[in-house]
Chains A and B, each alone.
Chain A
């Protein structure tokens, strides 16, 4: 509007035009057909089994933190898969386009991706993996586990929780649709000034990137407030700060980081928006703009962000190690202090992402020292995990393997991080694949912790264990892939290979790249193993049912609930006596004591407003990207209007009487007794998800 728009603009459709759909692209066109077929298949299956009402009532309108958490995890896994495909495409391009004699297809000179398309692939890969895969996965786990670990019935703000989920889903939808309508940013996942300005990126790619990120930031901020308020205000009686499970401490420190740092991202993006939409000169080359200001503002968010994703992963590891070492966590207090210290120091180190800017030795040294300081609390954690395992009775099941693998990756990633913290080294390897290998090692710590947690907590949420054999197979394949891809990458970084190369000029690197490509093939096999894992586990679910204490050696409060967790979590809120309450009760033989009396409890209603709001934010994001101004105004007004309407309607909730609770609880206890008696007898009634998870209280229809 205030900016000259290349490519034309119409009042009805903004910059949208038929030419923006890449129907001639040899990769995207078939992909689109596949996606349409897949979508029709899914919709067809749901219709055929008559599950639309179920889906709407139980999942799409839920405010239950467990279901919202499961949906977050589903979004995360789907986006992880998409991000993985992007990674596979990057690797394949780089192994193909080596040297001036390498062939080129699909219109590119070397390899199969043009530089323009390749740029979008790695930008999407980065953004998706960090913000639409790792973050929703972690937020999903925090959503499911934190309330039950503190002994609450739900989060502090159940409706806000649902809103956060659907806004995140809108962000995922926005980046997915950029595949087929328009293009995506092609300047890296964090962008650079001034290439993201209108003159150098005239397409809508950067705009898609801006609005996807803004939506993710909004969703995560809302979620952060929720978790913090839940931890501060909704702990069960007797749960003092010193008895808080370690994963809750990890979530607390992570969300403090989220709350404090995401606003900086929102501003950085807003200023880019001002440049691109209003012709401002924040980051332009000339007219008083400052290019490095963007990088500065972005990384003020960017660095705390990576600690936001790793702290919950550390928390997950801290839960898995004690359970499978049958010992309490070593050094609980120092673990807590270390998490807080990491959160605090993470705010002081962001310049290490741009040591090469030229701020000089004083500034560089200060940030370098601060970066190295972060290694100290991290080291404390590593030692505490090791000492937890020392002289414990170790069970090497798949969850434990993932946790141990994460520990090793942390060592490698952490040490290379310390190397990068030194400006002298950093100047040599800045923007090389050494950096890429470092941060992938760290992100893989998170991925390992997530897979470990999936195995660890799946029985609690769904009531049956995942198949051990396929879980272990997946672990070994994944770890082999990790080694094959990233060890050569570290070496290539030292040899001078820059990141983001669409064409690799040095044929001497071919053998390394070949090894890495083989690694990606192994990764693909591990993904296959994951799908087989899911299939086999669901097929055999009746054989693998578990009771409340799924592993027999669990320690924290969530293992007091039934498996799967009923929608009200606890019929009567527990009174907490010790840290590791469940381990304490089991030790003293009081883990099967039932409450004597059930009182009425108050639950929030489901609501369709959250998903409609999510849909509206998607429309708003899309309209802003394509500069369809009338649609922007309409959707913004609709969002505000809906907010106001909802605030008038409120939600009185509903009551579950003590008698109903007693009935449901007794049924759950009966089921658990059957499972305890014989694991191989006839399957217990109830579907995969179990009627105990159902919102509808009337279970007798089964």
Chain B
């Protein structure tokens, strides 16, 4: 198959770019970051697949199962803390839209505090389990439960560090192309954690409780 019929007249064709086609740095950054986030989503999908295989009755080897220790309303409180944190960050981004620096920083601080609340609740939950002798070494099922939930918590932890770094950057550098780009990617990261949490909450905590 020879090349498709040439519709361009070689004598008049434009050979070199004269329009100073500059590329959009911010959307290049956000696209790449979104691709990374999707690969992060695949990380969780694989963890869920592993959890699915290890959540049968025999996976708990006679030991404790989520049905015995999950407290739905406690974890619901974690859910609300996280969702509020996500909302606060969203309000912060809205302030960015209006070039409102203090509004942005307030939003980020609120997101940080609420994120810490989430983590504190999670750590308290896990240490309570530890004190009852329930660890990830208890059984295959417990390994899967712990790792899946705590991988999410670890994402939250690193996100919190990132929020602090961004607060510092916004305060010192203002709204540069790089800072704004990073705020956008952080927003995507933070909001994705809420999405993942829905799956963790429903299919790990609540489903485990039902069993």
**How far is B4's CA from A589's CA once the two chains are assembled, in angstroms?**
19
Take A274-B143, A574-B15, A579-B4 as given contacts and tell me if A290 and B31 are in contact as well, using a CB distance cutoff of 8 Å. no
Take A281-B140, A585-B15 as given contacts and tell me if A228 and B35 are in contact as well, using a CB distance cutoff of 8 Å. yes
Residues of A near B169 (CB, < 8 A) are: 647-648
Check A588 against B10 for contact (C-beta < 8 Å).
yes
Question: What's the nearest-Cβ distance from chain A to residue B205, in Å?
Answer: 19
Q: Does A501 belong to the interface (CB within 8 Å)?
A: no
Check B39 against A577 for contact (C-beta < 8 Å).
no
**How far is B17's CA from A596's CA once the two chains are assembled, in angstroms?**
11
**How far is B152's CA from A269's CA once the two chains are assembled, in angstroms?**
17
Check B136 against A274 for contact (C-beta < 8 Å).
yes
**How far is B38's CA from A261's CA once the two chains are assembled, in angstroms?**
11
Q: Does B68 belong to the interface (CB within 8 Å)?
A: no
- Please give me the residue from chain B that is nearest to A300 by CB atom: B46
Which one of B56-64, B86-94, B118-126 is at the interface? B56-64
- Please give me the residue from chain A that is nearest to B63 by CB atom: A288
Check A221 against B39 for contact (C-beta < 8 Å).
yes
Q: Does A357 belong to the interface (CB within 8 Å)?
A: no
Question: What's the nearest-Cβ distance from chain B to residue A490, in Å?
Answer: 35
Check A293 against B28 for contact (C-beta < 8 Å).
no
Q: Does B198 belong to the interface (CB within 8 Å)?
A: no
**How far is B17's CA from A488's CA once the two chains are assembled, in angstroms?**
57
Check B50 against A577 for contact (C-beta < 8 Å).
no
Which one of B18-26, B97-105, B107-115, B189-197 is at the interface? B18-26
Q: Does A359 belong to the interface (CB within 8 Å)?
A: no
Q: Does B116 belong to the interface (CB within 8 Å)?
A: no
Interface size class of A (residues with CB under 8 A): 35 or more
Check B144 against A578 for contact (C-beta < 8 Å).
no
Q: Does A202 belong to the interface (CB within 8 Å)?
A: no
Question: What's the nearest-Cβ distance from chain A to residue B99, in Å?
Answer: 21
Q: Which of B1, B2, B6, B17 meets A237, CB within 8 Å?
A: B17
The secondary structure that dominates the B interface is helix
| Per-position 1/0 for B53-90, Cβ under 8 A of A | 11000111101000000000000000000000000000
Q: Does A141 belong to the interface (CB within 8 Å)?
A: no
| Per-position 1/0 for A289-326, Cβ under 8 A of B | 11001001100100000000000000000000000000
Check A573 against B178 for contact (C-beta < 8 Å).
no
Interface residues of A in 248-277 (CB under 8 A from B): 259-264, 266-268, 270-271, 274-275
Residues of A near B17 (CB, < 8 A) are: 236-237, 572-575
Q: Does A590 belong to the interface (CB within 8 Å)?
A: yes
**How far is B181's CA from A650's CA once the two chains are assembled, in angstroms?**
12
Most A C-beta atoms less than 10 A away, residue of B13, B47, B143, B144: B143
Check B32 against A290 for contact (C-beta < 8 Å).
no
Question: How many chain B residues touch the partner (CB < 8 A)?
Answer: 60
- Please give me the residue from chain B that is nearest to A589 by CB atom: B10
Check B60 against A234 for contact (C-beta < 8 Å).
no
- Please give me the residue from chain B that is nearest to A555 by CB atom: B3
**How far is B45's CA from A297's CA once the two chains are assembled, in angstroms?**
11
Q: Does B165 belong to the interface (CB within 8 Å)?
A: yes
Q: Does A213 belong to the interface (CB within 8 Å)?
A: no
**How far is B18's CA from A286's CA once the two chains are assembled, in angstroms?**
69
Q: Does A11 belong to the interface (CB within 8 Å)?
A: no
Q: Does A1 belong to the interface (CB within 8 Å)?
A: no
Q: Which of B3, B46, B172 meets A267, CB within 8 Å?
A: B46
Check B32 against A226 for contact (C-beta < 8 Å).
yes
- Please give me the residue from chain A that is nearest to B31 by CB atom: A229
Which one of A28-36, A67-75, A327-335, A527-535 is at the interface? A327-335
Residues of A near B42 (CB, < 8 A) are: 260-261, 263-264
Residues of B near A328 (CB, < 8 A) are: 1-3
Residues of B near A280 (CB, < 8 A) are: 136-137, 140, 143, 146-147
Question: What's the nearest-Cβ distance from chain B to residue A187, in Å?
Answer: 20
Check A225 against B61 for contact (C-beta < 8 Å).
no
Check B143 against A281 for contact (C-beta < 8 Å).
yes
Q: Does A584 belong to the interface (CB within 8 Å)?
A: yes
**How far is B50's CA from A330's CA once the two chains are assembled, in angstroms?**
44
Check A278 against B137 for contact (C-beta < 8 Å).
yes
Q: Does A156 belong to the interface (CB within 8 Å)?
A: yes
Residues of B near A300 (CB, < 8 A) are: 46, 49
Take A282-B50, A580-B3, A644-B165 as given contacts and tell me if A259 and B144 are in contact as well, using a CB distance cutoff of 8 Å. no
Residues of B near A279 (CB, < 8 A) are: 136-137
Residues of A near B43 (CB, < 8 A) are: 263, 266-267
Q: Does A595 belong to the interface (CB within 8 Å)?
A: yes
Check B49 against A297 for contact (C-beta < 8 Å).
yes
- Please give me the residue from chain B that is nearest to A301 by CB atom: B46
Take A233-B23, A234-B28 as given contacts and tell me if A267 and B47 are in contact as well, using a CB distance cutoff of 8 Å. yes
Most B C-beta atoms less than 10 A away, residue of A275, A290, A328: A290
Check B147 against A271 for contact (C-beta < 8 Å).
yes
Residues of A near B58 (CB, < 8 A) are: 288
**How far is B13's CA from A92's CA once the two chains are assembled, in angstroms?**
62
Check A287 against B136 for contact (C-beta < 8 Å).
no
Residues of A near B3 (CB, < 8 A) are: 328, 578-580, 584
Q: Which of A288, A297, A590 meets B60, CB within 8 Å?
A: A288
Interface residues of B in 134-189 (CB under 8 A from A): 136-144, 146-147, 161, 165, 168-169, 172-173, 178, 182
Check A575 against B31 for contact (C-beta < 8 Å).
no
Residues of B near A233 (CB, < 8 A) are: 23-24, 27-28, 31
Check B54 against A288 for contact (C-beta < 8 Å).
yes
Most A C-beta atoms less than 10 A away, residue of B54, B60, B141, B168: B54
Q: Does A2 belong to the interface (CB within 8 Å)?
A: yes
**How far is B21's CA from A233's CA once the two chains are assembled, in angstroms?**
12
Check B40 against A263 for contact (C-beta < 8 Å).
yes
| Per-position 1/0 for A215-248, Cβ under 8 A of B | 0000001000110110011101110000000000
Check A281 against B137 for contact (C-beta < 8 Å).
yes
Q: Does A284 belong to the interface (CB within 8 Å)?
A: yes
Residues of B near A281 (CB, < 8 A) are: 61, 136-140, 142-143
- Please give me the residue from chain A that is nearest to B178 by CB atom: A650
A233-B27, A280-B147, A650-B178 given; 10 more Cβ-contact pairs under 8 Å: A229-B28, A233-B24, A233-B31, A274-B143, A281-B143, A289-B54, A332-B1, A579-B3, A579-B4, A595-B15
Task: Sort A-B residue pairs by CB-CB distance and give the 8 closest, nearest first.
Answer: A288-B140, A588-B10, A280-B143, A288-B139, A263-B42, A288-B61, A279-B137, A267-B46
Contacts A/B (CB < 8 Å), 30 sampled = A157-B32, A233-B23, A234-B28, A259-B39, A261-B42, A263-B40, A263-B43, A264-B42, A266-B43, A267-B47, A280-B136, A280-B137, A280-B143, A281-B139, A281-B140, A284-B140, A288-B60, A290-B59, A293-B54, A297-B49, A300-B49, A328-B1, A328-B3, A331-B1, A573-B16, A575-B17, A577-B13, A596-B16, A597-B18, A648-B168
Hey, which bits of chain B sit against chain A, CB under 8 A?
1-4, 6, 8, 10, 13-21, 23-24, 27-28, 31-32, 35-36, 38-40, 42-43, 45-47, 49-50, 53-54, 58-61, 63, 136-144, 146-147, 161, 165, 168-169, 172-173, 178, 182
Hey, which bits of chain A sit against chain B, CB under 8 A?
2, 156-157, 160, 221, 225-226, 228-229, 232-234, 236-238, 259-264, 266-268, 270-271, 274-275, 278-282, 284, 286-290, 293, 296-297, 300, 327-328, 330-332, 572-575, 577-580, 584-585, 588-590, 593, 595-597, 599, 640, 644, 647-648, 650
